[in-house]
């Protein structure tokens, strides 16, 4: 990939991550409700015993269902060995497009993470990452989620996306224990 194309793709990724929350707000806005034709009559005075009970706060909305890839994607195996060269190439792709949302540390806290809904994934949780297959990561990178995560099937080759999977795995690696 030439430097010009890399820079263009990197800027496109940054632009998309910065503009997406604004576009989502614009397209999901609802028009204001029309004003009532006539003002309602004032409510009759009530005594303390007749006063309505205070409103109860609503429970927070349930967490969204986890974003899962189809069963056939879960079974895909990574044909690209996780060598230092593969991881280095995956890091290049990540720094061009992913870090703006997912953060340089892979913790889901990129430059505009707080404006994104759903928030970007963190790749640092070892237990969670152990439950996600390489095939699932590859599928998510390829297809996106149709909400905030873009699809990269036309921007990166299959090999580039597998290299990216190898790099994502490095965020959840344990540090070697010292002195043992």
Give the count of domains, the chain: 1
**What pLDDT was estimated at residue 28?**
41
**What pLDDT was estimated at residue 115?**
86
Count the Cβ atoms, other than its own, within 10 Å of residue 98: 25
Q: Does pTM surpass 0.75? A: no
pLDDT tens for 4-15 read 444 444 544 544
Q: Tell me the average pLDDT of the chain.
A: 77
Question: Is 61 inside a domain boundary?
Answer: no
Question: Is 103 inside a domain boundary?
Answer: yes
> What b/e sequence results for 1-20 when a residue is b if at least 16 CB atoms lie within 10 Å of its CB, and e otherwise?
eeeeeeeebbeebbeebeeb
Least confident piece of the model among 2-6, 51-55, 99-103, 114-118: 2-6
Question: Is 90 inside a domain boundary?
Answer: yes
pLDDT reading at 32 higher than 60: no
Question: Is 18 inside a domain boundary?
Answer: no
CATH number at residue 103: 1.10.760.10
Tokens for 43, please give them.
């409510």
Question: Is 32 inside a domain boundary?
Answer: no
Question: Is 44 inside a domain boundary?
Answer: no
Q: What average pLDDT score do residues 134-152 get?
A: 93
pLDDT reading at 146 higher than 70: yes
Q: Which domain holds residue 164?
A: 68-74+83-174
Q: Cα-atom radius of gyration of the chain, to the nearest Å? A: 23
């Amino acid at each position: 990939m030439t430097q010009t194309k890399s820079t263009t793709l990197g800027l496109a990724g940054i632009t998309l991550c910065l503009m997406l929350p604004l576009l989502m707000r614009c397209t999901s806005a609802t028009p204001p409700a029309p004003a009532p034709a006539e003002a309602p009559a004032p409510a009759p005075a009530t005594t303390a015993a007749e006063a309505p009970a205070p409103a109860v706060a609503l429970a927070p909305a349930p967490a969204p269902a986890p974003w899962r890839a189809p069963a056939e994607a879960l079974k895909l195996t990574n044909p690209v060995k996780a060598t230092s060269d593969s991881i280095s190439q995956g890091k290049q792709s990540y720094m061009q497009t992913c870090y703006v949302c997912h953060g340089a540390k892979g913790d889901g806290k990129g430059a505009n993470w707080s404006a994104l809904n759903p928030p970007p994934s963190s790749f640092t949780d070892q237990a969670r990452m152990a439950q996600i297959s390489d095939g699932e990561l590859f599928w998510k990178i390829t297809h996106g989620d149709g909400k905030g995560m873009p699809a990269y099937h036309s921007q990166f080759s299959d090999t580039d996306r597998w290299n990216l999977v190898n790099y994502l795995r490095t965020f959840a690696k344990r540090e070697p224990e010292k002195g043992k």
